[in-house]
Copies of this chain bind each other. A is one copy, B any other.
Amino acid sequence: MLKLTRKLEYSLIALSHMQHKEENELSTTKEIAVKFAIPQEILAKTLQQLAKLEIVHAVQGPHGGYKVIESLDNLSFLDFIEKMEGPQGLVECTTDSDCSLMDVCNIRQPIKIINKNLKTMFSNISLSEITQ
């Protein structure tokens, strides 16, 4: 119910790895996949997504690879998760707002509050706190 997806896990591991390198030093997919025993193809896709989201910068060609593009201080864990996986919420109606039970549902308000607190908590964590 509250487990990180592999994609998020792999992303965080990769980001942490890159964060610990010298400025401008690149990391390849293979290098990271081997070091952390992650299926290479999946990690490749994950890194491509991170590149598309401009969280990492990609350099193509031989001696290419990835590096973190910006300080991760300014990206919250919540934003990161939602960029990677789309809008998050404890229940359908917190993201979609179209549920047939809308008018008869008896737990909507309390769940909404918990959901808000949860998101607040995640938005107060910076990615760099995790990848540092």
Binding site for B on A (CB under 8 A): 1-5, 8-9, 12-13, 16-17, 20, 35-37, 77, 81, 85, 88-91, 100-101, 104-107, 110-111, 114, 117-118, 121, 125, 129-132
Contacts and interface: CB of A to CB of B under 8 A. Distances in A.
Contacts of A105: 13, 36
A9 B107 CA distance: 9
A107 B131 contact: yes
B118 A88 contact: no
A121 B122 CA distance: 12
Given A107-B12, A114-B130, A101 B1 contact: no
Contacts of A106: 13, 16-17, 20, 36
A5 B90 CA distance: 9
22 contacts: A1-B2, A1-B3, A1-B5, A1-B81, A1-B85, A2-B2, A2-B89, A3-B89, A4-B90, A4-B111, A9-B107, A13-B105, A13-B107, A16-B106, A17-B106, A36-B106, A107-B130, A110-B129, A110-B131, A114-B130, A118-B118, A121-B121
